[in-house]
Amino acid sequence: MGDSRPWLSAAVDTLATAPTGLVTEHGRYRWPELVARARELATDLPPSPYGWVVPSDGSVRSVIGLLAVGLADPAPSWVLGDPGRWSTGEAVGEVLWQAGASCSPPGSVPGVSYATATSGTTAQPRLLFGDPAALPDAVRLYADGMPEYADAEVFAACSALDFAAAFYMTVVPAILRARDLVLFAPHRWDVAVRELDGRKGVCLAAPVLAALGGRAASSGDYRGLSLVPAGGGLTAARAERISAGFTGCSFLTMLGSTETGLLTVGREVREDGHIGSPLPGKPVWLADVGADGVGTLWTKGPDTRFAASDGRLLRNADGAVSTGDLAHLDPAGTGYFLDGRSDDLIKVDGVSVYPNAVAAAVRALPGVLDAAVSVDRSGPADRIVVTVVGETTERRVREVCGALPQPVVPQRVTITAGEDAAYSERGKVLR
């Protein structure tokens, strides 16, 4: 922390002459044009004690705002989120808003910071803070560790920019590598397929939305396309449906979070909880490993966060962070199986039962497309809630839960038949 240089300083000369740019449903905007507008804004930024709020709606102004806070010298602090929530209401050019006091990192943090707003599955917005000077190192980490990122000509996403996966895995790489950036609404896959056809690219979308994209693609050459299934839930059946439209595409399955950045990468579509292997150059390890081989995943690196507005970030003194993800090593000792979250760990007669094992058993039922398991701890004992996407019955769900090695009795089972109504815009099963 403490670096006051603009985080875009090393990339701005390339951006200012690049033939690529931003593509939205409203058209194409070349990087030199956007950089010129951002430079003008950055030059005249007035003082703002808590930094700036950049709108996260995926519009042209969002990208100009990101460029402006990346070019301003000295570098300011900034938040990517809803100006209506995080700003004082004072705007500059309807692109940047003065941040309120709630945008200041908790505790004493030297130098500038950035934050993305996130609600996760809680619907309670919070800010997660990082070091903007580390963003170029994060992109180098991705490009060095994944050939798909090094070779990509275009990056695309159909979610709000404050969704950390979209921000880290598409927006920042496209800007810092001066590649095409496609930002589109879930109902406007026509914008994306036009840019992705016949090119090497990375597209981030929830699996249920990627299936809609497959229908929009219908024909074309997508052998250079790597689809990143945001939020998880990529089953073999769903992958087949997606590939039927995006002919020749491949999948990059990733485990990461707003707190830890990218943890692991896999290239197989699996339904057994395997989450791939750590990205080269990103240390990942297990701590507090139990007799069953399950431990808590920890990591450190340039895409990790150093503070959270609600104070719930698990962080060691040396900068290592964790979300409490539970995992165990695969037989080869090079990858991991995900077992759930420590906050969701279920105790049955004193024995640990992992939510992912319950969800995997429910997903194996005929007619089930996806499942999520949560724990209600508001009463004297843990109560299990199972949410199912697809067509089955509550009786079958309860039977399969009761047949587990450690039987589980759900307190509530919710079944949603239609995929479109079952997921949040960020790809999470609605619970």
pLDDT value, residue 198: 96
Mark whether 25 and 82 lie in a shared domain. Answer: yes
Edge-to-edge strand list for the sheet holding 87-92: 87-92, 96-99, 52-55, 78-81, 114-118, 126-130, 307-308
Distance CA 196, CA 217 (A): 10
Residue 350's contacts (CB-CB under 8 Å, 6 or more residues apart) are none
Burial of 334 (0-12, 13-18, 19+ CB in 10 A): exposed
Task: For residue 212, name the pLDDT band (cuts at 50, 70, 90).
Answer: confident
Distance CA 216, CA 8 (A): 35
Task: For residue 46, name the pLDDT band (cuts at 50, 70, 90).
Answer: very high
How many domains does the chain divide into?
3
| pLDDT at position 216 over 80 | yes
Over range 261-272, report the average pLDDT.
90
Residue 180 maps to a domain: no
Task: For residue 70, name the pLDDT band (cuts at 50, 70, 90).
Answer: very high
Residue 306 vs residue 379, higher pLDDT: 306
Mark whether 6 and 108 lie in a shared domain. Answer: yes
Mark whether 352 and 324 lie in a shared domain. Answer: no
Condensed to tens digits (0 to 9), the pLDDT of residues 11-31 reads 999 999 999 999 999 999 999
Q: What percent of the chain has pLDDT over 70?
A: 92
Q: What is the pTM of this model?
A: 0.83
Distance CA 69, CA 306 (A): 20
Tokens of 359: 């969800």
CATH of the domain at 290: 2.30.38.10
Last residue of a domain, one of 343, 369, 391: 343
| pLDDT at position 253 over 80 | yes
Task: For residue 205, name the pLDDT band (cuts at 50, 70, 90).
Answer: very high
* Separation of CA 282 from chain center: 17
**What dihedral do alpha carbons 268, 160, 307, 139 form, nearest 10°?**
50
Over range 195-201, report the average pLDDT.
97
AA letter at 393: T
Contact 130, 306 (CB under 8 A): yes
Residue 159 maps to a domain: no
pLDDT value, residue 72: 96
* Mean pLDDT of all residues belonging to the chain: 88
Residue 186 maps to a domain: no
Last residue of a domain, one of 343, 368, 387: 343
pLDDT value, residue 374: 81
Task: Reply yes or no: is the peptide bond before residue 74 cis, omega within 30 of 0.
Answer: yes
Task: For residue 422, name the pLDDT band (cuts at 50, 70, 90).
Answer: low
pLDDT value, residue 108: 66
Mark whether 67 and 122 lie in a shared domain. Answer: yes
Mark whether 116 and 26 lie in a shared domain. Answer: yes
| pLDDT at position 404 over 70 | yes
State the distance between the two ends of the chain, measured CA to CA, in whole angstroms: 38
Over range 50-70, report the average pLDDT.
96
| pLDDT at position 358 over 70 | yes
| pLDDT at position 243 over 90 | yes
Mark whether 328 and 363 lie in a shared domain. Answer: no
Condensed to tens digits (0 to 9), the pLDDT of residues 116-163 reads 987 654 556 789 999 999 999 999 999 999 999 999 999 999 888 888
Task: Find the domain containing 262 and state its range.
Answer: 253-343
Residue 388 maps to a domain: yes
- Which among 111, 90, 112, 108 is positioned nearest to 99, based on CA atoms? 90
CATH of the domain at 349: 3.30.300.30
Last residue of a domain, one of 343, 358, 382: 343
Least trusted range by pLDDT, from 20-24, 187-191, 280-284, 414-418: 414-418
CATH of the domain at 77: 3.40.50
Least trusted range by pLDDT, from 152-166, 305-319, 341-355: 341-355
